[in-house]
Chains A and B, each alone.
Chain A
């Protein structure tokens, strides 16, 4: 596609439920990143995928967070047993190659009630 796409654009869920967020990177981009952005804050790195290498999970805040990526395409970020503190915008970005400029999707706005 022309850019990074994410779905859903908005998600409202109840505390304790699981949510799954999807990211479609730019075609051909080998690297994919997930970030969290709390209201009025900067971007917080969560996880990074590069080709078939093991992902860099160093930014995941707890074991309730996990992410998968199929080859060099779609990625899903899963948050289990959501908490109100998980409410944020979750942004995905992709790059053609490691170290190159990241291009962002529009984000998924998650609200946990």
Chain B
């Protein structure tokens, strides 16, 4: 199925640095979500965004629902080693949920 365009594909950063990743789509979505997947686990929801323009924070995470409803970004501030994993964006229209290919984050201590 159609995937969202997520970038970057991977990031290698030093502990303490900030991280930014984004997702774009040619289609409008009613909801944008960001998930994190640890090795051997299923994705875990980090942040859900329900309104265009919405900016939501969850601890060191901040995500925004683009005003055009076709994009979203996720920022992680002051990264720590346990932030390592794969981050997926997802756009949702009722029962139609599409995922990005993921951003693989490596944090060097």
Contact = CB atoms under 8 A, between A and B. Distances in A.
B102 A104 contact: no
Interface string B39-77: 011111100100000000000000000000000000000
Given A42-B99, A43-B99, A4 B94 contact: no
B1 A42 contact: no
A35, A43, A104, A105: most-surrounded residue (chain B CB, <10 A): A43
A98 B101 contact: no
Judged by DSSP, the binding face of B is: strand
A91 B1 contact: no
A98 B45 contact: no
Contacts of B44: 104
A98 B98 contact: no
Interface of B: 1, 3, 6, 30-31, 33, 35, 40-45, 48, 88, 90, 92-95, 97-102
